[in-house]
Chain A
Amino acid sequence: MGDAIVGVVANPLSGRDIRRLVTHASVFPTAEKASMIQRMLTAFGAVGVHRVLLSTDLGGISAAVFRALGRRGAHGADARWPEVEFLDGQPIRQTAQDTVDAVRRMVAAGARVIVCLGGDGTARVTASAAGEVPMLALSTGTNNVFPAVREATTAGLAAGLVATGAVPADRATARAKLLEVWVGDRAETALVDVAACTERHVGTRALWEPATLTQLFCAFAEPDAIGLSSILGQLSPVGRRDPHGVTARLVPGAPRQVLAPIAPGLVVPVGVSEIAQMRPGAVHEVDASAGVIAVDGERELTFEPGERPLVRLRADGPRCVDVQAVLAASAGLGLLLREHGGGST
């Protein structure tokens, strides 16, 4: 058994929340998530990945891949797939903890790349558990600022080339920034944005009411983003590779209003004031008296009078596979070239 190992974690619940009801957000079927994994397995097999560790779930994704493996056994395979090991035997809680548990097991088992299928929330949770193992986030969720909307086959080739060591990790990965937020001894991280809002409860987690937002902190803010970072993406863009971040106050009646796509299907005017740079390490205070902190667009941490949430930008976020850079390096090295009639590596 070789050690070119890839972990794949898929969130069965991504793309199912209230934003389908309030903002016409997209629906991402379970069958498509399972098909994406199968397309990746083909790509992994083509570039010589030995083993794939796959998360298990009660939503039907791992079950569909399991059935597909059985059918291949019965009818003969037309392309090599790596050995697939299902990470079962651990209780499935149907919460984000399942993703954390699966990613930790992948890290412990020596995965060289971890691919996650989900939205910004899934990527955030994967990043928190992946440590120094490079991750590749593919979008199957709602807000997709961090995960790429990209064909799984191509992503699978890139992840496979990094896992086998064919493309050196230093040419293939880039370190993302990270936002940390604390309320007392409770802490969360975000890959894109942290927002303070006046909602009192976590509820359905999603945020779609601009009038409830009071402060925004972005690790990066791209002009073509979807989600809360789009607010600053049009006013004070910050790239993923820039060393700094950006923060602002959101004030409904502010003279400066920006039309921002703060959620899929929702373009609303948002009042913005006091835009400032965030330097890595500097601690920023949330000064609302009570409310909820949202990370990457989802309400997570409540805070009450007397509690002061703190936010900090960190430069040492997760290592992320740059699909384009990997495949460009592959082109330069001729990694996918084969002699006619020859086999794959």
Chain B
Amino acid sequence: MTDTIERRALSREQLLSAYRMMRAIREFEERVHREFATGEIPGFVHLYAGEEASAVGVCLDLGERDTIASTHRGHGHCIAKGVDVGEMMAEIYGRRTGSCHGKGGSMHIADLSKGMLGANGIVGGGPPLICGTALAAKIRGTGGVSVAFFGDGGSNQGTTLESMNLACVWNLPAVFIAENNGYAETTASAWSVAADNIADRAAGFGMPGVIVDGFDFFAVHEAASEAIARARGGGGPTLIEMKFTRYYGHFEGDQQTYRADEVERARAELDCLRRFAARVTETGELARADLDAVDADVATMIDKAVDDAKAAPLPGEADLLTDVYVRY
């Protein structure tokens, strides 16, 4: 149990890193929101703004041997797992310098070298993937843990439920993170999730299921840290449900006629960055100047990512037959 206390006592470096990641995700998404409106970004983007504490609170205790699977709303998970922000932005712009050489776009950003198995255009597509990597980690004895992020919509998919069953049957080092932001596209989870709480479904598989305030970095980190340590120690899978709200629509361009003023309230009262900053400066763990310096760094980094992406070349004809399994 002393382990728990040590895990929870975050060092100054860890706190700074967590703040940097959350700020980077926020700036990245706010910038993509503005740039998408200009029409320069091809395809669809689904923004993660508001949900930063989940990706960062979970990934803080993950390392190189650990893998994650993401969703269509994947930018936050990518950044939190260490994918290069410049390559991500280039990918979103469809440029040859992108993480997937400009052929994937927002919903397929992946970087296996970072243990990031990919954003995923298929709702409920991530959980089966992490059963595979978790099984591999178990058989090879690497000590690696696999984490699947999915939404409230994804929680209703057969693939997700089958994966939870399989992970429990095989006692895999897996953690299931249900990011319940209240809506599957435009359908309220209060209506579409029959169990009322996604976490309640864990009991049916014989694993622990807990609900966490997804706006609270410290709550997310505590719960994730326990679940990851349990998985790493051979204790089996856990389901954690984050309750929060996304700040933007399902996709950019969504008119959001299905909800009223909840985003304004969340931004004003619940925001994860605001709460984190208030708390760590109150305890004296970090100074306001530390946070300001991170903000300035991140702003520069995102500016550069956008400038570089816009200046980078598109894939050419010669790239058509690269990065494919079969060449006809």
Contacts and interface: CB of A to CB of B under 8 A. Distances in A.
Interface string A248-275: 0000000000000000000010000000
B190 A58 contact: yes
A182 B289 CA distance: 31
Contacts of B200: 16, 27, 29-30
A94 B216 CA distance: 14
Contact of A16 (B190, B210, B216): B210
Interface in B221-262: 221-223, 226-227, 230, 238, 240, 243
Interface residues of A, number: 33
Given A21-B227, A27-B200, A13 B211 contact: yes
B209 A20 contact: yes
B101 to A, nearest CB: 40
A18 B283 contact: no
B219 interface: yes
A19 to B, nearest CB: 8
Contacts of B219: 202-205
Nearest to B283: A200
B282 A20 contact: no
A236 interface: no
Contacts of A18: 210, 212, 222-223, 226
Nearest to A13: B211
Contacts of A302: 279, 282-283
Contacts of B285: 200
Contacts of A17: 210-211
A21 B190 contact: no
Contacts of B311: none
A149 interface: no
A31 to B, nearest CB: 9
A239 B226 CA distance: 36
A211 interface: yes
Contacts of A205: 219
A226 to B, nearest CB: 18
Contacts of B212: 18, 204
Contacts of A203: 8, 216, 218-219, 221-222
Nearest to A61: B196
A64 to B, nearest CB: 9
Nearest to A57: B196
A144 to B, nearest CB: 18
B104 interface: no
A135 interface: no
A20 B243 contact: no
Given A16-B210, A204-B223, A304-B282, A21 B238 contact: yes
A209 B4 contact: yes
B197 to A, nearest CB: 6
A58 B193 CA distance: 12
A199 B8 contact: yes
A212 B222 CA distance: 15
Contacts of B216: 202-203
A30 B196 contact: yes
A281 interface: no
A203 B275 CA distance: 12
B112 interface: no
A131 B190 CA distance: 33
Contacts of A276: none
A290 interface: yes
Interface string B168-211: 00000000000000000000001000011101101100001111
Contacts of B210: 16-18, 20-21, 204
Contact of A94 (B5, B221, B243): B243
B9, B196, B219, B230: residue with the most chain A Cβ atoms closer than 10 Å? B196
A32 to B, nearest CB: 11
A304 B208 contact: no
B122 interface: no
A121 interface: no
Nearest to B241: A16
Listed from nearest, the 8 A-B pairs whose CB atoms lie closest are: A60-B196, A201-B218, A21-B208, A16-B211, A203-B218, A203-B222, A20-B208, A30-B196
25 contacts: A16-B200, A18-B210, A18-B222, A18-B223, A18-B226, A20-B199, A21-B226, A21-B240, A27-B200, A29-B203, A30-B197, A58-B190, A59-B196, A60-B196, A200-B9, A201-B218, A201-B279, A201-B283, A202-B219, A203-B8, A204-B223, A209-B1, A268-B1, A290-B283, A302-B282
Given A18-B212, A203-B218, A203-B219, 16 more contacts: A17-B211, A21-B223, A21-B230, A27-B209, A58-B190, A59-B196, A200-B283, A202-B216, A203-B8, A203-B216, A204-B212, A205-B219, A209-B4, A268-B1, A302-B283, A305-B284
